[in-house]
A = this chain, B = another copy of it.
């Protein structure tokens, strides 16, 4: 649909604008070298591209900037992945060289690297449990009043949490409860555990143990809370380096959003496997309509575990970020496969 020349010009404009954050004029394109036409010719093409909705003009006597649609075309058709820069690879290597023996380490480090290498904000979701089932549940008493609940999933993922034990519950009762839970809940997907707890377990439990409501509510909290993936955020202040957020109010809006884990998670709802680019208003959340979000899932044995993402202005270095996310998501999968066998 676009001529080769138009594609070249569009590409040049997007590239230039990504670099400079200033509207791009016909003259500067002509001088770049890779497009050998005169400014006048380029102007004509630009007018056409604008008519197609790929470019827009802030005001009559300014250069052009890419529209959302323009970025979309650029990302879908013009971005050539040139791989990750050598020095970036080296930096990732040294970062991950440190021996890590829990997944939070890997995910946390990944988040830090991403923001450092891109100068954007990185958002990383830990292993999700939506598609995961309970494999094993264990309670380790610590003292009269508290115990550690350990939850093992079918993926080999382990979560733990200290819980308060209500007064008047004996060790014996505990064991009964734990056994019953393992019987009933093993193999049940997490998102269904809450209802199973109420429908099947509650009745049976009341036969064996007093105070069962207390125990149930605690378990319910513990298990359902763990269901939520943990969110790691890094480089939020990088937003402020972008000229589009030199207006403090805009910046505050976005940074405020970034502080609300709940909202962040909604951003990642229904991210498909592989790499996804959401540009400006393509994001459902109005507050980040000036931003682009690029996400990549990390998978082991074809199963999607979690998501890493970069949030930046729509004027984002798509080429670099996409390459990097692709590389890193595979790296994370590799590193984490140790715990998932």
Contact = CB atoms under 8 A, between A and B. Distances in A.
Interface of A: 99, 101-103, 136, 138, 140, 142-143, 145-146, 148, 150, 152, 156, 158, 160-164, 217-218, 221-222, 234-237, 240-241, 245-246, 248, 251-252, 255-256, 258-259, 338-339, 341
Nearest to A165: B101
B145 A150 contact: no
Contacts of A240: 248, 251-252, 255
Nearest to A98: B221
A153 B284 CA distance: 47
Nearest to A240: B252
Given A145-B339, A162-B160, A101 B252 contact: no
- Counting every copy of the chain, the complex holds 2
Contacts of A237: 252, 255-256, 258-259
Contacts of A150: 140, 142, 148, 160
23 contacts: A99-B217, A101-B164, A101-B221, A101-B222, A102-B163, A103-B162, A140-B150, A142-B152, A145-B338, A145-B339, A145-B341, A146-B158, A148-B150, A158-B162, A160-B160, A235-B259, A237-B252, A240-B248, A240-B252, A241-B252, A245-B248, A246-B248, A248-B251
A146 B156 CA distance: 9
A218 B99 CA distance: 9
A339 B146 contact: yes
Most chain B CB within 10 A, of A138, A146, A245, A339, is at A146
A216 to B, nearest CB: 13
A158 B141 CA distance: 11
Contacts of A142: 136, 150, 152, 158
A251 B256 CA distance: 14
A259 B234 contact: yes
Contacts of A99: 217, 221
A113 to B, nearest CB: 14
Most chain B CB within 10 A, of A152, A162, A218, A251, is at A162
A117 B246 CA distance: 27
Contacts of A136: 142
A112 B69 CA distance: 39
B161 A148 contact: no
A205 to B, nearest CB: 18
Contacts of A252: 237, 240-241
Nearest to A103: B162
A166 to B, nearest CB: 10
Contacts of A259: 234-237
B236 A164 contact: no
Give 5 closest A-B pairs by Cβ, nearest first.
A237-B255, A240-B252, A158-B162, A160-B160, A101-B164
Contacts of A138: 140
A238 to B, nearest CB: 8
Contacts of A251: 240, 248, 251
A209 B150 CA distance: 27
A163 B148 CA distance: 15
Given A255-B240, A255-B255, A101 B163 contact: yes
Nearest to A340: B145
